[in-house]
Amino acid sequence: MTAPAPVSVAPATAGHLRGGRRLSDRAFRAAMLAAAGIVLLVLAGTAVFLVTSAWPALRHYGFFTFLGADRWAPSDATAGSAHPNPYGIVQFMYGTGLTSLIGMAIALPVAVAVALFITEVAPAWLRRPLSSTVDLLAAIPSVVYGFWGIFALVPALHPVVDFLTSTLGKVPGIGVAFAGPFFGVSYFTAGVVLAIMVLPIVTAICREVFVTTPADEKEAALALGSTRWEMLRMAVLPRSRSGIAGAAILGLGRALGETIAVTMVIGNSVLSITTSIFGQGATMASVIANEFTEATEPFHLQSLFVVGLWLLIIALVVNVAGKLVVRRTRADIA
């Protein structure tokens, strides 16, 4: 799904018409360009309105104090004092990052495997049905994933997590990150749900990358007597590394912005960072969704806009980076 290259397909004879027709042509062109301008305005407007809504809090507390604390306590806020900033947002960045990373750690290997299967292993007549079926995962709405997550996924995860807390959780050092107790809602549960949700996108990009591997290199490997797996390992995967990386980054970008499914399974504990991945937390998106409509404390609503601003910046940076990596891969192959 690349962006359409701005190639104009206008015939060279345009513009040489006289009279009233020239006026209607110009009016039409203006209307079309105005619509394009609206698109630019939408993005600019999003950024501008977020900044202006967040501005009172940014000015009162200072830009960096939000990043300096992991304590979000709106009940501590007072209209007068600016120290300390009760709206520390580090734990939301932590929650967003952690759940997205867990999601990608699960989704990326699965996506590569599925894409390899579809493009290289499955018979040709199965390719389209399989890829369409995997794409169906993207059609399921977020609220349904969250609902299913609470009632179907959590009971299924209990034995898995109990195993992990009793083994990894006892290891000195990293054991803290895997410590119980597990109450069902947690960073980890949100990560698993995110993995399922970003899988179709990552798979689709990996499929495109694998499909564009030059056939002659694959055939050369096979001609030398390699098995199919060796051919994949030698001819397909090494060339696809940056494409897979791009897919991973784009999947990460999608996971960062996910709100509703995460809110329903992450436990909504906003005070500070919880060290265990099986503990409750919150993400930037989930805290906005939960607290927005009744943020009546001083600077509460504005601070939520600060969270939204950071979420926008991070999501845009990740998505643009991913697009650049994927596009560069395509250019290589072409």
Between 32 and 171, whose beta carbon lies closer to other proteins?
A: 32
CB 56 within 8 A of CB 271: no
d(CA 318, CA 311): 11
Between 67 and 135, whose beta carbon lies closer to other proteins?
A: 135
CB of 62 to other proteins, least distance (A): 21
Between 67 and 292, whose beta carbon lies closer to other proteins?
A: 292
CB of 289 to other proteins, least distance (A): 6
CB of 306 to other proteins, least distance (A): 11
CB of 38 to other proteins, least distance (A): 6
Between 8 and 173, whose beta carbon lies closer to other proteins?
A: 8
Between 71 and 82, whose beta carbon lies closer to other proteins?
A: 71
CB 189 within 8 A of CB 266: yes
Between 143 and 171, whose beta carbon lies closer to other proteins?
A: 143
Between the alpha carbon of residue 316 and those of residues 41, 166, 201, 249, 320, the distances in Å are 16, 39, 17, 11, 6
> What's the distance, CA 36 to chain centroid?
26
Write the DSSP symbol of residue 171: S
Rounded to 10°, the helix 154-167/187-211 angle is 100
Residue type at 40 in one-letter notation: L
**Residue written as tokens 């967003």?**
96
CB of 103 to other proteins, least distance (A): 14
CB of 63 to other proteins, least distance (A): 19
CB of 105 to other proteins, least distance (A): 15
CB 82 within 8 A of CB 61: yes
Residue type at 334 in one-letter notation: A
| Helix, strand, or coil (residue 98) | helix
CB of 67 to other proteins, least distance (A): 18
Between 177 and 289, whose beta carbon lies closer to other proteins?
A: 289
d(CA 159, CA 263): 23
Between 60 and 145, whose beta carbon lies closer to other proteins?
A: 145
212's enclosing H/E stretch is: none
d(CA 273, CA 296): 24
The residue among 281, 300, 299 whose CA lies nearest residue 291 is: 300
